[in-house]
Amino acid sequence: SQELEQSPQSLIVQEGKNLTINCTSSKTLYGLYWYKQKYGEGLIFLMMLQKGGEEKSHEKITAKLDEKKQQSSLHITASQPSHAGIYLCGADMNYGKLTFGQGTILTVHP
């Protein structure tokens, strides 16, 4: 099984709806990164979480890291077509080397 599990694997929502993507680790994380990727392109940094219970927001995207530092969630409020893409969580489990989840493909219908 993967060290880092993302769910769901894909998500289709109507514009304006809220959504949540989860990232669960089998180990305690030192840090958790969220990135967005469009197919065939690089990764866009969204947020980095390091402290248990930490929550960060940027525009309509909020990410949380649970107290035990084994699970993170990414929440998008009032989704827009521009939010569409592949969302990847990356976990720092080994001195800054990131292990990535398998990604969540988000489609937002206008």
List contacts with other proteins (CB under 8 A). Answer: 30-31, 33, 35, 40-45, 48, 50, 88, 90, 92, 95-103
Q: Which is nearer to other proteins, 76 or 87 (CB)?
A: 87
Q: Which is nearer to other proteins, 19 or 33 (CB)?
A: 33
Q: Which is nearer to other proteins, 17 or 100 (CB)?
A: 100
Please give the full DSSP string across 39-88, using - where no structure is assigned: TTS-EEEEEEE-STT-EEEETTEEEEE-TTSSEEEEEESS--GGG-EEEE
> Least distance to other proteins from the beta carbon of 11, Å?
16
Spatial separation of the C-alpha atoms in residues 94 and 44, rounded to whole Å: 22
